[in-house]
Structure 1
Amino acid sequence: MAALPYPSPPAFPRPPLLLAGGLIAFALLAATIGRLSGMGADRPVSTPISERTLRFEDRADGAVLVYDAGGDPARRDAEPAVVLTGQNGFLRGTLRGFARTRHADGIGDAAPFELTAWADGRLTLDDPATGRRAELEAFGPTQVAVFAQFLPPPQTRSAAR
């Protein structure tokens, strides 16, 4: 007795396959066009209202010293601000993240950071050595205040002239 061939399963309909392939192609094309044209990119157009170049240093007792690393020699030679052990965990955590990136890139901790308050209310901490930026306002007003205390008062237009 000869073996009976098994019936082949029914073929999957072609229209849904073609539609799925078309949808995938459209999504890839739209993403490529968006990426290459910059369409939808969030580009802040705000101007800085207060800036300060800071250097942070860990002390043996766990405190963090905050130095002004800007161009003004009088401010650069001033006493550093001290963040005592057990205080300002957000500041410590933020700096720890930057230090991890610097260590991974083989960069020392002597390079300064740039703290900037923007006219649109944002506060950023930039690490020019790694190109990394922390948008501090994303963590709430209490965390912004931790870093804002190190900024000079904003300059008004009349004072800048």
Structure 2
Amino acid sequence: MSQVLKKDPQRNAVIACGGLIATALVLAVLGRHAPATPVIAPDTASESARLLFGDLADGGVAVTEAGTGREIERLVPGEGGFVRVTMRSFAGDRKRKGLSAGEPFTLARMRNGELLLQDPLTGRTMLLDAFGPSNASVFAELLDHERAIR
């Protein structure tokens, strides 16, 4: 009789762990297919730009305004590490989901001063300020440069 009582707590623990694993898997699958909702609404941003990021043959990155195709910045090889890593991450998301690489991203400064980067195709939004002021300032310069040349 004492052996039966010892097995029950182990069995209950195994069942509980299995239930937790199953719940985590279900939540992961549901979260992956949740509809994308835009965070950057026109009335919440103080300024924004639709930008394209393209790799150049020499290893540089060209940043162009989506509406006009005008190049607003060129990152030479070895510069703009945070921009490169961030945009490769966003591009990788698109590639994994089979989405177009040629659609623009939205860079916006919110009314509260936060800087956000959003992919309208995937719905992914990144709060750039979370990576520190020096990293966010690289993207802020793209937005400020865009405003200065208008």
Superposition TM-score tier, normalisation by shorter sequence: 0.5 to 0.7
Instruction: Kindly provide the amino acid, as one letter, of the partner of residue 55 in structure 1.
Output: L
| Selected match of 1:132 from 111, 115, 124 | 124
CA apart distance, 1:88: 1.2
* TM-score, normalization by structure 1: 0.62
Give 1:60's match in structure 2, choosing from 35, 57, 60.
57
For 1:6-155, what aligned pairs fall within 5 Å after superposition? 8=2, 47-70=44-67, 76-152=68-144
1:50/1:152 contact within 8 Å kept? no
Q: Secondary structure at the match of 1:149?
A: helix
- On the 8 A contact 1:124/1:136 being kept in 2, the answer is yes
Q: How much has 1:81 moved relative to structure 2?
A: 1.3
1:44 Cα shift? Answer: 9.7
Q: CA deviation at 1:109?
A: 1.4
CA distance in 2, matches of 1:105, 1:68: 24
Contact 2:118 2:126 in 1 (8 A): yes
Q: Give the deviation of 1:152 after TM superposition.
A: 4.0
**TM-score when scaled to structure 2?**
0.67
The one-letter amino acid of 2:56's match is R
Distance in 1 between residues matched to 2:78 and 2:96, nearest whole Å: 26
Moved segments of 4+, more than 4 Å: 43-46
- Give the whole-Å Cα distance in 2 for the aligned partners of 1:99 and 1:116: 18
Which residues of structure 2 form unaligned runs of 5+? 7-38
Gaps of 5+ in 1: 1-6, 13-42, 71-75, 156-161
- Count the aligned residue pairs: 119
Q: Which has the larger radius of gyration?
A: 1
Equivalent pair of 1:65/1:82 in contact (CA under 8 Å): yes
Closer/same/farther in 2, CA of residues 123 and 86 from structure 1, 3 Å limit: same
Q: Whole-Å Cα distance in 2 between the matches of residues 123 and 144 of structure 1?
A: 7
Looking at structure 2, the residues matched to 99 and 83 of structure 1 have their Cα atoms a distance apart, in angstroms, of: 17
Question: Percent of aligned positions with the same letter in both sequences?
Answer: 38
Residues 55, 77 of structure 1: alpha-carbon distance in 2 compared, 3 angstrom cutoff: closer
